[in-house]
C-alpha cells in the first residue's frame, strides 16, 4: 500500500511541474514582441541624413528602438505635441530601457531647419531626441518609402510659410524593421507600451 506521504509528495511534485510549465509558457509568451502588422511589412527602410554632429544613419541605431517623425521646427502644433509626448514617455521608462531608445525628428523644411537649429530644438524636449534633415529631393525619397508626404506651402516670397505633412510616429525596432505606427497625438502611456513591445525584439 502506498503511504499518504508518498501520495502527497507525488501530488506536490506534479503541481510544481505544472506550475513551472505554465509559468515558463507565460514568461515566453510575454517576452515575445507582437507580430509586425501586414500593412507595415513593406514600409520603411534605412536612410542617412545630416545632423549637427555630421551624417546620421538610421542603421547607426541598430540595437535600439527608434521613434521617427517627419515634421519641422516652425510647426505650430502637431510637432511640439509629438516631441513633448515622447519626452513624457521617456521619463516613464526605466534607465536601462531609456538607454535603448532614440527619438529622431526628420525635418521636411530643409530651407529653414539647419542641423544646428534642429539640435537646439530637440534638446529642449529631451536629450534622447535628435534632429536630422537633408535636401528636399532626399527627403521626398525617404518619406515615400514610409508612405508619408509633405508639401511646402509658400505664399509669395514670404519665409513665413507652413509645411503640410502627414503626422505619424514610426516605431523602428532593434533590427531596423518598422514595428508599429502611432498617431502623433498618442498619449505617453501608449508610446511606452509600443516601445516596450519593440524592446522585446533581439538582434
The binding site for Cu cation comprises 75, 79, 165
- Residues in the annotated binding site: 75, 79, 165
Q: How far apart are CA 37 and CA 45, in angstroms?
A: 16
Q: Cα–Cα distance between 111 and 98 in angstroms, integer?
A: 32
23: which 3 cell numbers? 509559468
Q: Which residues pair with 166 in a beta bridge?
A: none
Residues 6+ apart with CB under 8 A from 33: 173, 179, 197, 198, 200, 201
Contact predicate 110/135, CB 8 Å: yes
| Cα–Cα distance measured from residue 76 to residue 96, given in angstroms and rounded to the nearest whole number | 33
The set of residues, in sequence order, having a beta carbon less than 8 Å from that of 77 and lying 6+ positions away, is none
Which position has the grid cell 516605431?
Answer: 171
Amino acid at each position: 500500500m502506498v503511504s499518504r506521504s508518498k501520495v502527497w509528495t507525488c501530488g506536490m511534485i506534479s503541481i510544481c511541474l505544472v506550475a513551472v510549465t505554465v509559468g515558463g509558457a507565460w514568461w515566453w509568451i510575454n517576452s515575445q514582441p507582437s507580430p509586425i502588422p501586414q500593412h507595415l511589412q513593406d514600409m520603411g527602410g534605412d536612410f542617412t541624413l545630416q545632423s549637427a554632429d555630421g551624417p546620421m544613419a538610421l542603421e547607426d541605431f541598430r540595437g535600439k528602438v527608434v521613434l521617427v517623425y517627419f515634421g519641422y521646427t516652425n510647426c505650430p502644433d502637431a510637432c511640439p505635441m509629438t516631441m513633448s509626448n515622447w519626452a513624457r514617455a521617456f521619463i516613464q521608462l526605466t534607465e536601462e530601457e531609456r538607454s535603448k531608445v532614440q527619438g529622431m525628428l526628420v525635418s521636411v523644411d530643409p530651407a529653414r531647419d539647419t542641423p544646428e537649429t534642429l539640435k537646439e530644438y530637440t534638446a529642449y524636449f529631451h536629450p534622447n531626441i535628435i534632429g536630422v534633415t537633408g535636401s528636399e529631393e532626399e527627403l521626398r525619397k525617404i518619406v515615400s518609402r514610409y508612405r508619408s508626404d509633405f508639401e511646402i506651402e509658400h505664399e509669395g516670397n514670404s519665409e513665413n510659410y507652413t509645411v503640410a505633412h502627414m503626422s505619424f510616429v514610426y516605431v523602428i525596432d532593434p533590427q531596423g524593421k518598422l514595428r508599429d505606427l502611432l498617431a502623433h497625438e498618442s498619449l505617453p502611456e501608449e508610446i511606452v507600451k509600443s516601445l516596450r513591445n519593440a524592446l522585446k525584439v533581439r538582434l
